[in-house]
Amino acid sequence: MNCLDEMEEDALRELFNLSFGRAAATLSEMVDGEISLSLPCVSLLSEEEMVRRLTDVYGSAIGMVGMRFRFVFAADRAIAGMAVLVLRAAEVVHLLDALYGGHVPEEMVTQVEGEAMQSTGDVLLYTCVSSLSALLASEIAGEVPCYYRGSLAALHAFLLPGAELARAMEGDSALAQWLLLRVDFALLGKDVAGSLLLWMDGSALPILKEGLDRFLADPMG
């Protein structure tokens, strides 16, 4: 992968795995059930490639909670990113059933969906991102999560304002690169499967590399 060597990439997977493991433990408590997790994967993608890859997995209709964040290492050394909880739109109701401990009547779904998904995303995404920030020895600045249900064609609306700078520098949005971290999960026996995604502005890879190198030099620091 551009800018990260094999050891750094392995370290990034390990740190993301640890961070999402903590978020998954929280989700397990929230739904009173067991969760299975995939191994994390790391990719460097354009926005178009990201949308295509997610569409291949989830189809065109999704439910998605997104939280913008920044890992801040110094005043002029920060990484802008987005943490996202995503699942197929049809499985949103199943997740609501799991969260409420029973079937949510159809007439109530619209009432509770937005607030329940946003609050769930708030807990899970902040747990994951703050854990990763601590492991990278950075400060964290985050925004309140927002919930979206609809087409993946609107994914660009979830991308960071920081990307606008990267795109301006590239001169073409198609050339903007995103570092995508992904872990898939399933709530066993509850008909819910999804992913926790974390993507960061690819132009900030040199800053991330510095953080990973510090971790590798002193993992207990």
Q: Tens digit of pLDDT for each residue in 110-140?
A: 889 988 999 898 889 999 999 999 999 999 9
Q: What is the pLDDT of residue 40?
A: 92
The beta-strand segments (E) located in the chain are 35-37, 41-46, 61-74, 77-88, 139-142, 146-151, 177-187, 192-201
* Alpha helix segments (H runs only) across 136-204: 162-170
Report d(CA 48, CA 176) in Å as an integer. 10
Q: Which residues pair with 129 in a beta bridge?
A: none
> Between the CA of residue 91 and those of 62, 148, 195, 211, 212, what are the distances in Å?
9, 14, 12, 37, 36
Report d(CA 140, CA 204) in Å as an integer. 15
- Domain membership of residue 126 as a residue range: 6-217
SS3 state of residue 83 = strand
Q: For residue 38, is it within any domain?
A: yes
Tell the residue number behind the tokens 């207990």, with chain if given: 220
Q: Tens digit of pLDDT for each residue in 180-194?
A: 999 999 999 888 999
Q: For residue 83, is it within any domain?
A: yes
Report d(CA 100, CA 11) in Å as an integer. 37
Domain count, the chain: 1
Question: Which tokens go with 17?
Answer: 């795995």
Report d(CA 10, CA 40) in Å as an integer. 10
Q: For residue 97, is it within any domain?
A: yes
In the predicted model, residues of the chain with pLDDT beneath 50 are 160-174
Q: For residue 213, is it within any domain?
A: yes
CATH number for the domain harbouring residue 166: 3.40.1550.10
Q: For residue 182, is it within any domain?
A: yes
Q: For residue 190, is it within any domain?
A: yes
Chain mean pLDDT for the chain: 85
Q: For residue 1, is it within any domain?
A: no
Select from 163, 167, 83 the least CA-distant residue to 131: 83
Q: For residue 44, is it within any domain?
A: yes
Q: What is the pLDDT of residue 166?
A: 46
